[in-house]
Amino acid sequence: MEQARDQHHVRLWPMIPMAIAAGTLAAILVLGFRWLIESGQQLFLPDGQIGNYESLSLSARFAIPIAGGAVLAWIYSRLPIHRRDVGIAYVLSHIQAGGKVVLPFSQACLQFCAGALAIISGQSVDREGPSIHLGASMGNLLARHFGISTEDIRLLTVTGVAAGIAAALNTPLTGVIFVVEVLGESLAPRKLLSILTGAVTAAMLGRMAYGAEPAFAVPQLNVASAQDFLWIVLLGICIGGLAVIAINGIERISRIMSTRSVWLTFMLAGVMTAIFGLFSPHILGISYDTVEALLLGQVSGNALLGLMCFKLAATIICIGCSVPGGLIGPCLVIGGAAGGLACQLLAGAGMTSADVTGFYAMTGMCAMLGATLAAPLTAITALFELTGDPYLILAGMLAMIAADSICWSILGTDSVFQHLISAKHMRAER
């Protein structure tokens, strides 16, 4: 037994400094990615304000997403087909394939540049999806450089995933849970310690760069009363329906556009995003500034309805057309808008108070994220880390149960990423 313990120590301790190195490299690349996006937005958005697409003129608001789609199409048209895949589904497919995980650094470079361009030009995608790919690539590159075992290459790759989430959202525990729920990694003590180390390292570096605040500022929320929990369950059911629409829509568009040229694919995404942006400018880009206004109850009912519908449609098209960004952020926006709209409708009917709009919005964000990713614990953990408010957890769990039940009964237990991988496999078989 003592010999087995010694062997365990030999295998464990070299991974700790390597996990620190993976978390550091992932954080540097993710923070650089965020800096590039914010610097690009400050160059042309009014008053240099990040995310201020709504203050653009109508012509600029229409032209910028189309121009971004055109540039993305030009970049991708010059790449071989096997070098075009990026994002969470790309990383997940490589991890699930078994054997030695190899994530070419050229793909990370494409994700870095094309992902930043997509967000800066207002496409309805987020920086979290690219951050996961960038973090995974850094962990994978480091592991392959040292020539360690296939098992440890996989471990450092998923450590990079957790670090990417931690650096992007300042949510280290969410990164760890994401690795378990979405990537299917086990929680053996040695693996868990490595993943935790990478996530904590990245989160600390992220806090050094941007402070201890989460990705978007969450105000002090008023807590809903006991009678609101029935409405929160009904809200969860409705959001489960939205998640089904999102997953089905993304998969179908992905299959349809998989055989089309990149020019048609990216121009469709750019044009449709531009059109939707004319009606609801808050859908453009990451939209986290809109989330903050939503949590403060500063967005009216009509604007919430437009935000929910147009953000949902734009995200389905952008993700289905393989725009190089993620959908974690859009899920938060769509769910938040749905929750805020539900609260305002109920308040108008005298069934609740408008003061709890932020509470409903955060609950809706949690339910939409968990149902779409088929990752309820990830969403609940993110809810807590983003707010620090334990009173939201029960409401979030209730809404999550309702939303996930709808998704599972209609689509099964697969996440949107599995549906994207399935669409890709069908494309390869044609």
Q: What is the CATH number of the domain that holds 187?
A: 1.10.3080.10
Distance, in Å, from the CA atom of 358 to the CA atom of 339, rounded to the nearest integer, reads: 8
Inside any domain, residue 222:
no
Tokens of 264: 């048609």
Inside any domain, residue 220:
no
Q: Are 349 and 413 within one domain? A: yes
Residues of the chain with pLDDT > 70: what percent? 93
For residue 402, name the pLDDT band (cuts at 50, 70, 90). very high
Q: Are 200 and 317 within one domain? A: no
Are 151 and 170 within 8 A, CB to CB? no
Q: Are 171 and 236 within one domain? A: no
How many domains are there within the chain? 2
Amino acid at 57: S
Write out the residue range of the structural domain in which residue 233 sits. 228-429
| pLDDT for residue 2 is more than 50 | no
Tokens of 102: 């190899």
For residue 217, name the pLDDT band (cuts at 50, 70, 90). low
Tokens of 414: 């697969």
Q: SS3 of 190, please?
A: helix
Inside any domain, residue 215:
no
Distance, in Å, from the CA atom of 331 to the CA atom of 182, rounded to the nearest integer, reads: 16
Distance, in Å, from the CA atom of 403 to the CA atom of 408, rounded to the nearest integer, reads: 9
Q: Are 200 and 249 within one domain? A: no
Of 110-114, 227-231, 357-361, 387-391, the one with minimum mean pLDDT is 387-391
Mean pLDDT of the chain: 88
User: Which residues lie across from 326 on neighbouring strands?
Assistant: 126
Query: Which segment, 189-203, 289-303, 380-394, is predicted with the most confidence on average?
Result: 189-203
**Residue that wins the pLDDT comparison between 80 and 430:** 80
Inside any domain, residue 392:
yes
